[in-house]
A = this chain, B = another copy of it.
């Protein structure tokens, strides 16, 4: 019987856990951005200027850094879930699959820390790169199993 996406499948149950951790981390960026906008008094829309002193600014260094980190998550975490779900269905070796999921999740967590605290390179670049190759590795498995 073909591999299915159900919580009875331990590889899927692990993918669901780590995938959700990564998505929730990505969504946390929204709240960090809102916090920074409030404390630094910079907003993106006129109607958001509720308190005296707030300015409509698009080049605040702290807010824009957080937004770039958020965008990088979108560019990597979403592909991880999309390709990862297909990868689970190829029936990978459970140890090898768990290695992919954990490596990617760890890289993205450290990537965020490296980005937000501007840790000297190659901290952020290497975390991005390893995560990127993790998705490529899963993608190749899907392509080999897929139909042209």
Of the candidates B2, B16, B17, which one forms a contact with A6 in the assembled complex, judged by CB atoms under 8 Å apart? B2
Of the candidates B7, B23, B68, which one forms a contact with A83 in the assembled complex, judged by CB atoms under 8 Å apart? B23
Question: Are B3 and A6 in contact, CB atoms less than 8 angstroms apart?
Answer: yes
Residues from chain B with a CB closer than 8 A to the CB of A86 are 16, 19-20
Copies of the protein in its oligomer: 3
Interface size class of A (residues with CB under 8 A): 35 or more
Chain B residue, CB-CB nearest to A59: B58
Q: CA of A18 to CA of B59 in the docked complex: distance in angstroms?
A: 36
Question: Are B2 and A118 in contact, CB atoms less than 8 angstroms apart?
Answer: no
Q: A5-B89, A27-B132 are in contact. Are A50 and B121 (CB under 8 A)?
A: yes
Residues from chain B with a CB closer than 8 A to the CB of A20 are 83, 86, 139, 142-143, 146
The interface of chain A, by Cβ under 8 A from chain B, is 2-8, 10, 12-14, 16-21, 23-24, 26-27, 30-31, 44-48, 50, 58-59, 65, 68, 70, 74-76, 78-79, 81-83, 85-86, 89-90, 115, 118-121, 124, 128, 132, 135-136, 139, 142-143, 145-148
Q: CA of A147 to CA of B146 in the docked complex: distance in angstroms?
A: 27
Question: Are B47 and A13 in contact, CB atoms less than 8 angstroms apart?
Answer: no
